[in-house]
Amino acid sequence: MMNRNLRSLAISMMVSSSAILAQPGSVDPTFDPGEGPNARVFVTTLQPDGKVLIAGDFTEVSGQPRSVLARLNADGSLDAGFNANADPDVFAVFCFAVQPDGKILVGGQFESFNGTGQSMITRLNVDGTVDLSFNPGAGADWIVSTIALQPDGKILVGGNFTSFDGTPRTGITRLNSNGAQDPGFDPGTGLGSIGIATDISAFSLEPDGRITIAGSFNSYNGTDRNCIARLNSNGDLDTSFDPGSGAEFGSINCMVRQPDGNLVIGGSFTDFNGTDQPFLARVTNSGALDPTFDVGTSTSGSILAMALQPDGRILLGGLFFDYNELLANDVARVNSNGSLDLNWSTGTGAFGLDAGVYDLALQPDGSLIVVGEFIGFNGTTRNYVARLMGGTGTPVSDMQGELPLHVWLDAEDQLLRLSAPASGEVFDVHGRVVTTFSRTNAIALGHVCAGVLLMRTDAGVVHRFMRP
């Protein structure tokens, strides 16, 4: 899931509001990681006991040495009983999966782990030590991006590799529980290149044993399939799933399967099978675009992660600052029909240079673990990991369904003009309020310094603009 272009400029706001803090989506103060990791967190997952695994390219957590992988207690504090002791040459961990026995499968970019020569994939015991009963041989020749556990204990592995344990395997293979390749799974020539790094970002397991794959590719075993395909349990292409031209002008970064078999996909794509469908879409069991899932203008940037709630609502994380022109800074929740859920708000969201949310983990109580690159969330200091409150809440805006607010810059008169009177604030790139406005359709900018600015109305409409 690392085929991502990070924003070079974060449009972030650091304000607090008791009304927003009471909302589902606000920072949970009972989960406090203290200093937290000292660098990016790429991926997170939950253990059955409520502890939280995090991985990335950090070297410390809360001042303690923890190279690329750590475990947090349920309250966010560092779990001192877990130390994977990753080698200094472990570049990063990009994925992991927790087995029913508590052991942890780990994938990423490394040639050894804690002194054990296992390339790009390993398995850890519950205390973080390497499980020597798992032997992938020579392993993958390049990055492992995603891992999925099948109900029978077999392990699906996807990434940007061309061979596994010396056998040609482009982008995908399946292992037995001991790490050896499964001879009953043959992807043929595997993934075809689309000019960028060929990769699998997500697996979805069907009840009948079929496997949907999504990522960055333009074919599977010689048959055109653009960024999404479904396989039979033996690795053959399932031709009954036909997405047409699939996800275009970008990749699929994440995917969840709904109970009815439909798939919700998110990424950097802008079209699906010739239809304008930016960043978010739903695909039916046959591979067709579902027109009843209406995302409107969708997010303003790439979606990197998603989680499906039991009630059908979908949580999104990524590199964006709005959804359908309403404020949703790097995290949002959408209803089952694709509309923004206005009952859930992260306020001003992630803060920091190149801020973004890279992964999500939904807890049983509805709380949400978010990780990525940020140093604060809605005005609360949180370094690279935070927990947001779940629940239903009260709508933070009734703008959905009203006529859209149009905004344009009048450079000659040094005004930002609105199509209807509104109240709110204007922020600079550091999250500082540079001016406020009340019940007006013309915001004076004569005293505001030049640069990139962000306007937010009290109703939640956000607009980014350049002050010349």
Mean pLDDT of the 368-387 span: 94
- Distance (Å, rounded) from C-alpha 35 to C-alpha 33? 6
461 falls in which pLDDT band (50, 70, 90)?
confident
Q: Is the pLDDT of residue 12 over 50?
A: no
- Distance (Å, rounded) from C-alpha 256 to C-alpha 265? 7
Whole-Å CA distances, 168 to 134, 188, 235, 310, 466: 21, 9, 14, 39, 50
Residue 182: helix, strand or coil by DSSP? coil
The encoded tokens of residue 300 equal: 């303003």
Mean pLDDT of the 188-200 span: 86
* CATH number, span 407-467: 2.60.40.3080
Q: Is the pLDDT of residue 2 over 50?
A: no
Contacts 24+ apart (CB under 8 A), 207-215: 208/233, 209/233, 210/238, 211/156, 212/241, 212/255, 212/257, 212/263, 213/158, 213/172, 214/247, 214/252, 214/254, 214/255, 214/265, 214/267, 215/3, 215/145, 215/158, 215/171, 215/191, 215/251, 215/252, 215/253
- Distance (Å, rounded) from C-alpha 260 to C-alpha 284? 9
- Distance (Å, rounded) from C-alpha 224 to C-alpha 217? 9
Mean pLDDT of the 18-22 span: 36
- Distance (Å, rounded) from C-alpha 122 to C-alpha 103? 11
Which pLDDT does position 429 carry in this prediction?
A: 64
What CATH architecture is 18-388?
7 Propeller (2.130)
Which pLDDT does position 1 carry in this prediction?
A: 39
Mean pLDDT of the 41-53 span: 96
- Contact call for residues 86 and 114 (beta carbons, < 8 A): yes
* Averaged pLDDT of the chain: 88
- Contact call for residues 221 and 242 (beta carbons, < 8 A): no
pTM to 2 decimal places? 0.81
* Segment 206-240, tens digit of pLDDT: 999 999 999 999 999 999 999 999 999 999 999 99
* Segment 66-103, tens digit of pLDDT: 999 999 999 999 999 999 888 777 888 999 999 999 99
* 395 vs 88, higher pLDDT: 88
CATH 2.60.40.3080 domain extents, the chain: 407-467
- Distance (Å, rounded) from C-alpha 418 to C-alpha 412? 16
The encoded tokens of residue 178 equal: 């001991």
43 falls in which pLDDT band (50, 70, 90)?
very high
Q: Is the pLDDT of residue 183 over 50?
A: yes
392 falls in which pLDDT band (50, 70, 90)?
low
Q: Quickly tell me which residue has 């203290």 as its tokens.
A: 34
Residue 271: helix, strand or coil by DSSP? strand
Which pLDDT does position 178 carry in this prediction?
A: 97
- Distance (Å, rounded) from C-alpha 210 to C-alpha 312? 22
Q: Is the pLDDT of residue 16 over 50?
A: no
Please choose, from the candidates 41, 80, 77, 82, the residue with its C-alpha nearest in 3D space to the C-alpha of residue 59. 41
- Distance (Å, rounded) from C-alpha 290 to C-alpha 458? 33
Mean pLDDT of the 144-163 span: 97
Please choose, from the candidates 38, 240, 254, 282, the residue with its C-alpha nearest in 3D space to the C-alpha of residue 145. 254
- Distance (Å, rounded) from C-alpha 162 to C-alpha 337? 39
φ and ψ at residue 21, rounded to 5 degrees: -60, -25
3 falls in which pLDDT band (50, 70, 90)?
very low
CATH 2.130.10.10 domain extents, the chain: 18-388
